[in-house]
Amino acid sequence: MPEGPELFMTSRFINAVCHGKYFSGCVRKSDVSKCPPIHWHAKLYQIVAFSRGKELKLTLTDIRTENVTKDVTDESGCSLSSECRDALNIVFTFGLTGKFSFDSVDDIPKHAHLKFYTADNDMVLSYVDCMRFGKWTPDGKWKSDRGPCVLQEYELFRKNVLSNLGCSAFNKPICEVLLNQKYFNGVGNYLRAEILYRCGIRPFDEARSVLEGLSEETKVKSEKPDILYLCHSLSLEVVNLTQSAEQNGYSLYDEESDKAFITWLKCYNNINMNHISDHNRRTVWFAGDSGPMVPRDGKQKHRKRPHKEVSKKTTFGAEEGTIESTGGKNGSLYFSSDQQFEQKMLKPRRKREKKLNSVCNEEFINTKMQEEVKITNNVQEDWIAKRTRSRNGI
């Protein structure tokens, strides 16, 4: 999910590719999108982008034709209004997969749901969202239930958090409060993991106990920055990892920036770290102890599925060369640890026949099942006979 730094970089990208360019005609919305249409029919207009936390605002400004020497004709097929408004604000939230792209008319992305055409009709600025969780609001404003941006409004952000510690929202674990956009506008899942890890704070400590005692002063006097300053500084680090759009041409990210970002991540999505679900079913990545407010079922998120009872199938035991029944009604048997092998035996498919046939091979039995196999001769012969008949089409 795009977070505050990604929204800021997107606004910087839009301003770079749209600088000095004029757009014309109506704004086209895809048929599948459920967001409202944009009623804008200026003959010439320019686009400027701003970001605030997890929101992005596009401002379309009408350029009167008498102030432009270039003669432009509209080829979009949309009716142009002579009484066009001077400006229009469109506020976007990106959801899970939202982004902007600037492409030629022949290379418009498949999931482009809002398109702004340049005056020469060669290039298109597109809002792309393959999962369609993102939204836009025409004549929109910044949402009132979102606090100051952790990246661009650090002083206001810090004051907003520390002046509201008495609110019930801070009774929750710090990992959940960090995703509350009313106080931490722009922080998402990867940022909270990195912030808590680099602060050495347990994710399920109470938020109020973590934040109490912090000063509203924005200057960091100690060598170790506090959690509020890291919300700002780590967001800024992510922004600085990505080159500017002028260097990348018409691409928001390049391969080097992606590698730099992956290297920058120390905790999030790291296989050496612990991860459980918070009370909102969001995965929390952390090191060491989780803290006292961990959910009761949080540790069981990644537990294995219980063993299923399967009629007339086999269980692989500890001794070599035998298959043994482990109980069950009507001769039913249970599989133990090798779940992948179990699924392939229970639900064979044509594309797996070659692999399954190798089970009948003595070499496979002596190598694959050395550690956990118990086979009685009767069951072995019966199972091999059945596989042979099915292979021969009997």
Q: Which residues are catalytic?
A: 2-3, 54
The amino acid sitting at 141 is K
288, burial (CB in 10 Å: exposed 0-12, middle 13-18, buried 19+):
exposed
Alpha-carbon torsion angle 169, 211, 181, 263, nearest 10: -140
3-state SS, one letter per residue, for the chain: CCCHHHHHHHHHHHHHHHCCCCECCCCEECCCCCCCCCCCCCCCEEEEEEEECCEEEEEEEECCHHHCCCCCCCCCCCCCCCCCCCEEEEEEECCCCCEEEEEEHHHCCCCEEEEEEECCCCEEEEEECCCCCCEEEECCCCCCCCCCECCCCHHHHHHHHHCCCCCHHHHCEHHHHCCCCCCCECCCHHHHHHHHHHHCCCCCCEHHHHHCCCCCCCCCCCCCCCHHHHHHHHHHHHHHHCCCHHHHCCCCCCHHHHHHHHHHCCCCCCCCCEEEECCCCCEEEECCCCCCCCCCCHHHCCCCCCCCEECCCCEECCCCCCEECCCCHHHCEECCCCHHHHHHHHCCCHHHHHHHHHHHCHHHHHHHCCCCCCCCHHHHHHHHHHHHHHHHCC
Buried/exposed 150-183: b ≥16 CB within 10 Å, e otherwise: bbbbbeebbebbbeeeeeeebebbbbbbbbbbbb
- Would you tell me how many other CB atoms lie within 10 Å of the CB of residue 255? 8
> Cβ atoms within 10 A of the Cβ of 209, count?
11
d(CA 175, CA 205): 8
